[in-house]
Structure 1
Amino acid sequence: MTEQLIHYVDEMDSPLGRLTIVATDHGVCHIHFGELKTSIATLNAWLKKHGRKGELTHCMETIRPIREQLEDYFSGKRATFDLPLDLCGTIFQKKVWNALKNIGYGKTKSYKEIAQEIGAPKAVRAVGGANNKNPIPIIIPCHRVIGSNGNMVGYGGGLDKKEILLSLEGVIQKIS
């Protein structure tokens, strides 16, 4: 079933580069690494894949609270987010994403630990797949998931961005 929603969009600068933020009246639904003009095709494909009709509408006012909380996070003034979320995903993905929200600022967990927490201890690879499909990185902190050996592995935005986020939270020393 296709749902007709207005998808508000705006951009912001961050230590990770330009971010494109998408939200509905229900909450933030997507954060894309990159500027809007180069993200349009990807965002439209994401909307279509998740059965959402409607166009992206530029609206600074709707995106403002999301942008402000992200700015506070990047400046070290915020460790948690209290924004409504409008998640699109499978039941399993949402279970993983909810578990990710419980990883505290400056903490990490392994894919294996997340699999155990959601009651699917053999689903480590599936947890990695769900982590990779997280539509709201940073706010749903998929960057806090590491390999069982403690190494940084996999991040949809690239390991360089994961390193910046973990460094910002004091988990690792920034590698120059």
Structure 2
Amino acid sequence: MYYKMMYESPLGSMILAASDTALVGAWFEGQKYCYGSLQGEVMREEDTPILRKAARWLDDYFAGRMPAIMALPLSPQGTEFRRLVWYLLCQVPYGKTTTYGELAREVEARTGKKMSAQAIGGAVGHNPISIIIPCHRVLGAKGQVTGYAGGVDKKIALLRIEGVAVK
């Protein structure tokens, strides 16, 4: 059983989802891959302690504070490869960025398997916990803002909240 609640962010409505023990989803309403691997799962509208904690985390984030990712119990659902990429996203500090290529090199170093920036892009794009797992901090090879499942306009806004100058 999963629980969900709506969160009204300055960038639009978000859907937060949790199990009994961890946050499993945070999506902008209508974003690409909304609900991800939870599609079709039973979700009850309920205000749980984990969902309230996630909402407070987002309140802090949108207020320009730097909430710690590890302050929330997270359990993104996905393949081992995707979970590794999402783990690496959590290592990118607030106000900093990385590139798909840099992430590909890091995955290669950890797994010994040849990795393409496109494969990384697929995993980044399917991140089920937007903002908190900071996929918005990933840029193209030349530092350009590229796709974001919630919309490039939201990615730019998130980077600006963190003080990142975007092109």
Matched, 1:135 2:128: yes
Unaligned runs of 5+ in 2: none
Residues 18 and 61 of structure 1: CA distance in aligned 2, closer, same or farther (over 3 Å): same
Q: Name the structure 1 match of 2:105.
A: 116
Highest relative contact order (Cα 8 Å, sep 6+), 1 or 2?
Answer: 2
Matched, 1:77 2:65: yes
Q: Which moved more, 1:86-95 or 1:159-168?
A: 86-95
Displacement of 1:121 in angstroms is 5.5
Displacement of 1:85 in angstroms is 1.0
Taking the aligned partners of 1:130 and 1:12, their CA distance within structure 2 comes to 24
Taking the aligned partners of 1:149 and 1:124, their CA distance within structure 2 comes to 13
Q: Partner of 2:6: helix, strand, or coil? A: strand
Q: Partner of 2:48: helix, strand, or coil? A: helix
Taking the aligned partners of 2:39 and 2:18, their CA distance within structure 1 comes to 15
Taking the aligned partners of 1:122 and 1:77, their CA distance within structure 2 comes to 34
Q: CA RMSD in A?
A: 2.0
TM-score after normalising by structure 1: 0.83
Taking the aligned partners of 1:136 and 1:75, their CA distance within structure 2 comes to 19
Taking the aligned partners of 1:149 and 1:110, their CA distance within structure 2 comes to 8
Deviations 1:25-65 (A, max 9, x none): 1211111212xxx79xx54x74247xxx5x21122233111
Taking the aligned partners of 2:79 and 2:48, their CA distance within structure 1 comes to 30
Of residues 27, 31, 38, the one that matches 1:47 is: 38
Unaligned runs of 5+ in 1: 1-5
Counterpart contact for 1:80–1:105, Cα < 8 Å: no
Matched, 1:149 2:142: yes
Taking the aligned partners of 1:67 and 1:94, their CA distance within structure 2 comes to 23
TM-score after normalising by structure 2: 0.87
1:71 alignment partner AA:
D
- Deviant stretches of 4+, over 4 Å: none
Q: Name the structure 2 match of 1:3.
A: none
Q: Name the structure 1 match of 2:9.
A: 14
Taking the aligned partners of 1:142 and 1:20, their CA distance within structure 2 comes to 17
Of residues 21, 27, 50, the one that matches 1:26 is: 21
Taking the aligned partners of 1:110 and 1:77, their CA distance within structure 2 comes to 24
